Structure 1
Amino acid sequence: MSTMDKTLLTASLFEGFWDRWIVHGVSYHDLAKLRHSIIAKERWFKTWGELAEEKYTMAESIKKVGFVEQAESVYRIAALYYQLNQWLIPEHGGEKLDWLMKSLLVVKKADQLSDIKTEYVELLIDENSYYGRVRIPNNPEGVIIIINPIDSTKEELFSYEMDFVEKNYVVVSFDGPGQGETFTRHGLKATRLRWERFVDMMIEYASNTFPAHDIFLFGTSSGAAWAIYGSGNEKVSKAVAVSPAFRNEEIQMPDYFMERLFAVSDETIIPDYPQIKLQKPVLLVHGKKDVMVKDEDIYGLFENLPSGKILLEYEDEGHCCNYKLPEIRTKAIEWFQGKWGMKDEF
């Protein structure tokens, strides 16, 4: 069975497969159009492609009658639905690139309607191009670098971006090695060393571009692992790590997930925590029903974090604490501002 077929079978049989997409903007109503039977790839592409076109047409109509903010939101959902089609395809270029470019064009339509300035940035690191977007509100209070999970794109996590810019933070988000535009355009695979350089250079870019502002990191899953790595950088003020991944051979990832990581080299891409010179405070977030991250790994990591650390746990959440992410982002902002997480609260 091919990687794509395994992904489709999992999507058909396991409710939890869709949690990530639901919290990132897929509607239950639209999802129901796919959930009645085993999903064939032709049906997947057709359904999400048609739904994306419907949303795009709706956004155009809403824009024409002057509801600009609503049109922006619907454009972003249309772009997300195009993302679902590119995401299904493991190999870079070709059809994957076609779907990604459709999504990026719609994202730019949304950006053009926003009151928040957007810059599209290409970082050259070791002769490889990394593609990013930077949202810049008026009178920013700081800079938040979002570090995305390995199989997410910078555009997928638009709700994170919007929550942060609405609180007057500059948001920096790049596709790293093996991710999104960076992988799909040029086939740049993820390695641990490339990820180290990527995180270092993102922080350097943010520091050089916004020298007057504090830099904060926010990551989930493998992105959380790299947020912890980044907390060892003296230019970072604080980092939030939600469900950080570990180098744990006892935890078996689903076949479809491992095989989808076509963009990853054979070596592990998770940083070696004991080798990191941890310097800055970390807000560590863990779902007690996480089957991918063991409690003892989280507690062992927390024990070794520097002063100012906080452990936030959710009894009923799984990996990435999907349904608590809006609350987590709110708490993260309050923690960055020094308004939450003081010792007398615990």
Structure 2
Amino acid sequence: MELGVGMFGDLAFDAQGKPQSAEQKLGEILEEIKLADEVGLDMFGLGEHHREDYVISAPDIILAAAASITKNIKLGSAVTVLSSSEPVNVYQNYSTIDLISHGRAEICVGRGSFIESFPLFGYPLSAYDQLFEEKLDLLLKINSSEDVSWSGKTRPPMTHQNVLPRAKNEGKLPIWIAVGGTPESVLRAAKLGLPLMIAIIGGSPKQFQSLVQYYKEQYILHGHDKSKMQIGIHSHSFVSDDSSIISGYYKNYAAQMDRIGSSRGWPHFTERQYEAGRTKDGALFIGDANQVIDKILYMHELFGITRFSAHMDVGAPDHKQMMDAIELFGTKVAPAVRKALQ
């Protein structure tokens, strides 16, 4: 199993509600990616958002910077909001990262759980599904061939146009599909034979068992090689062997859940929810190293996952605590999981 870290670049807010500087946060993120590489983690993903509480609006730019200071770790989006992106630019940006990193770039695409990018880039929400369908089709065509001809309804056609530069692996980048739990999205990934990344950030992971089984059945039914099947989970996580840090992290986590929930009509996130999420059947991978190890292995038992992405910066924990969590995840959690699965 591959183990890595995902981030959205949550900004910390002071008592007056003022966010920390974007410059400071971006510097911290690069230090965290560098450390993740040094402690032997397999991948690092950055999510695209266009909100005042997140600093990462251009993950490809940050990943390009990270490519120059890392040696082994895979670098990808988590996710690219493809519906409001230009597939040609997406491929060019990540193929460039791939060349800088000597073959370590990948893309994870999704429709996004936030809608700010649609009005920002001039796309109608009424075309939400059609935009994703067509742009994914174009991205996959670009990924498979330098000479691209394509037509659709959401952008001008392409006729024998070259998309350059090309990625290292015969021009092909790994492309994952990120889903939030809809059967339609899972079926799309299975039909196309693409790796599946499931965001499990609430409720009980067991609820996703039928969805994962559906993906596996449809993947094989559509003629894809079972040995190449990849399934990942992306879940809110934090690791510390200091129980006071874990209990104190509730304030960071709840503050971010309430910021998001204020625009979605969610009730206040309670400490009871936090502790319930940390139990074996909850969706939060927050605890000491042994608790997180056991829970990741439980996910492998439930789903047969090939990748676990720990979303570690929810609510902007202190940078030192983030560095300690990444180090612990890389030096204790990841080796124990790998050993157990040998």
Under TM normalisation by the shorter chain, which class is it? 0.3 to 0.5
TM-score, L = length of structure 2: 0.34
